[in-house]
Amino acid sequence: MDRLEVTLKELRGFVGEREWEQFHDPKNLAMAISSEAGELLAEYRWVNNAEADDYSRQPEPRERIAAEVADVGIALLLFCDRIGLDLIKAIGEKMARNRENYPLEQSRGRWDRPI
Amino acid sequence: MDRLEVTLKELRGFVGEREWEQFHDPKNLAMAISSEAGELLAEYRWVNNAEADDYSRQPEPRERIAAEVADVGIALLLFCDRIGLDLIKAIGEKMARNRENYPLEQSRGRWDRPI
Amino acid sequence: MDRLEVTLKELRGFVGEREWEQFHDPKNLAMAISSEAGELLAEYRWVNNAEADDYSRQPEPRERIAAEVADVGIALLLFCDRIGLDLIKAIGEKMARNRENYPLEQSRGRWDRPI
Amino acid sequence: MDRLEVTLKELRGFVGEREWEQFHDPKNLAMAISSEAGELLAEYRWVNNAEADDYSRQPEPRERIAAEVADVGIALLLFCDRIGLDLIKAIGEKMARNRENYPLEQSRGRWDRPI
């Protein structure tokens, strides 16, 4: 069992013991992902692009950032588990499409979608 | 190398080949996580809680949902990689705190934080 | 001067006195809108659709909801002011397009875009 | 009747004619606010802070930005209307609290909450 599977099993146990499946339908979990992502966003709201890497290394904000990232990850994994979706497989399929949509030569050094 | 590591390596390669590290500071990636989470949210916006599980199984929305989930996951993994954070470890640490904040007996069947 | 103009003037004064224009570029304010919207979202995360109206009337959550709504509104107005956009006019133009995209007969009682 | 009231009346009519009140409970509208805010966010995702003002003036992105801002505004106004909240009044009350939380002398030129 790889690390992601171990984590998923732990999350399932945590939720199951608390009888929270009743709250965890996909709609509510999509809201949880988004609200947690909003808390991560809040960390960087007033931080300039040029300072964002450095800010992420300072102990105090880093601790909060790690907790927010974890919250997004937890909600995302619970969502995937609820709808029976393999996150790693979904990412693999999306990356295949990304390779088509962002061909190497036309995409190098530019962020807008070239085709 | 577990599946998550393989995925991370693929993402790094994709971004590196396109010279996108210049756009991928933590501030911008936090925005990417949040805007992708917003697209996933949009899928469930008008779907009632009672229908959300069923909706997630219908082939057409499911395909879009899987793509949005993948986009959130990709942005989240790129963010973690940029700031040198191990997502699985961060989740483990947050879950330890969640166990303290949501003790089994006081949390069973209720969603508000009991302590 | 209508009520919205009075509010805008107050917001401008509050920000100007604190010399916050330096933080309030459109990118940062777009992040503020989104993170405040995420906090409003968090209020309803575990509330079922069927209970959402009632929940919004209970004094304790209502006070928090009103504060979150205000935060979204403040960030939205500051954003519009920064880029010189008239919110009411922008809404009017979008509604004109919405009338085209959601014709009365095809849209009645259904939430998906009919055309 | 001021401009905001006229807009609210138009929104109510648009929604009522289409019999969309059934979808517009506060939970769903909070999701709409957040997903529209995410689309606005997406516009600035890869734009550097230093270029954000200029970017907001370029005709092509500006048109999209105006439409996204309008969508956030529409969802916010519909939310307020649904729960019977006066947005302008809520902002006024929040600003009173903001004046307490961010006293002039301690807040000048800094973005973190001073007290």
Using H for helix, E for strand and C for coil, what is the string for chain A?
A: CCHHHHHHHHHHHHHHHCCCCCCCCHHHHHHHHHHHHHHHHHHHCCCCHHHHHHHHHCHHHHHHHHHHHHHHHHHHHHHHHHHCCCHHHHHHHHHHHHHHHCCHHHHCCCCCCCC
Buried residues in D36-45 as b, exposed as e (16+ CB within 10 A): bbbbbbbbbb
| Residue-level pLDDT at B113 | 82
**Is residue B94 domain-shared with residue B113, that is, in the same domain?**
yes
Residues of D in contact with C40 (CB under 8 A): 30, 33-34
Contact at 8 Å (CB) between B76 and A69? yes
Mean per-residue pLDDT for A98-115? 91
Are the Cβ atoms of D50 and A49 closer than 8 angstroms?
A: yes
Which helix (H) or strand (E) segment is C73 a member of? helix C59-83
Nearest Cα of chain C lies from the Cα of A32 at a distance, in angstroms, of 6
The answer as to whether A114 is a domain residue is no
Indicate if B14 and B70 belong to the same structural domain: yes
Boundaries of domain holding C47: 26-107
Q: Are residues D92 and D57 in the same domain?
A: no
CA–CA separation, D53 vs B39, rounded Å? 25
- B18 plus B47 within the same structural domain: yes
Report the predicted TM-score, pTM, of the whole model to 2 decimal places.
Answer: 0.97
Hey, which residues 33-62 in chain B have their CB within 8 Å of chain C? 34-35, 38, 41, 46, 48-50
Q: Given an 8 Å threshold on Cβ–Cβ distance, is D49 in contact with A46?
A: no
Selection from D12, A71, A31 nearest residue C52 by Cα: A31
| Residue numbers of D between 82 and 111 with CB closer than 8 Å to A | 111
Give me the residues of chain B with pLDDT under 50, please.
none
Please write the tens of the pLDDT for every residue from D23-82: 999 999 999 999 999 999 999 999 999 999 999 999 999 999 999 999 999 999 999 999
C77 in a structural domain:
yes
Residue C35: the pLDDT is 98
**What total number of domains does chain D contain?**
2
Residue A112: its pLDDT value, please? 86
Which is nearest to A7 in space by CA: B2, B75, B76, B103? B2
- Does C83 sit within 8 Å of D62, measured CB to CB? yes
CB contact under 8 A, B90 and A73: yes
- Considering the domain architecture, whether residues B106 and B68 belong to the same structural domain is answered as no
Question: A33: domain CATH number?
Answer: 1.10.287.1080
Q: How many CB atoms lie within 10 A of CB B97?
A: 11
Residue C86 falls inside a structural domain = yes
- Establish if C71 touches chain A: CB-CB under 8 angstroms: no
ipTM above 0.90, yes or no: yes
Q: What is the pLDDT of residue D115?
A: 72
Residues D63 and D100 in one domain: no
pLDDT of residue B112: 86
Domain shared by B40 and B51, yes or no: yes
Q: Which residue of B has its CA nearest to C34?
A: B34
Specify whether B36 is located in the same domain as B26: yes
Measured between CA atoms, the residue of chain C closest to residue D106 is C18
Q: Name the residue of chain C whose CA is nearest to A41's CA.
A: C35
